[in-house]
Structure 1
Amino acid sequence: MKHFLEPKMDEKVKFVYNDSSESQKILGDMFDLDELEHIFGGRNTADFDINVYAERMKRRDRIRGASTEDNGEATSSRCWTKTTRNSSSV
């Protein structure tokens, strides 16, 4: 994979592997290995429970002011718009 990266990108990207002590150091510098799931190179062996995750996401949605319709689509009471200014019309 490394052969396909531009030189500048190669300096920014680090490939990590579970069986490499150097990779573990890189991961440890970026993440709390006790919290990082073992499938990603961490020490957290807790199983993923979709129901617990779904409840956590619903709570976060409520905190942000969003809710979910019966069809599963997220709705929000906020409306975000982006306006742009044409610099030539000054």
Structure 2
Amino acid sequence: MGQVGIWQIAIIAGLLLLLFGAKRLPDMARSLGKSARILKSEAAAMKNEGTAESNADSGTAEQAPAPKTIQAAPGDVTTARPVEEPKRTTQG
């Protein structure tokens, strides 16, 4: 198996165009870009959350956690809504 040449890429692009049609390809690329942005923002949020937990474990900063917000897409403020954290109650 050698390297992929320009002719192979052109044939693959032509097959995709025939299979999906010229109308659907931009929509598919747009949704793929949105998914990549969401994945990137979620990965950054998890990384930030992990560093915040390690700071809390070391006792360096005692701060109240900020309310969490669920967003439909990064930067989409109109559909963002705050989320209530579940209250922990002990019954005994």
Per the normalisation by structure 1, the TM-score is 0.30
Larger Rg: 2
Q: Which has the higher contact order (CA 8 A, sep 6+)?
A: 2
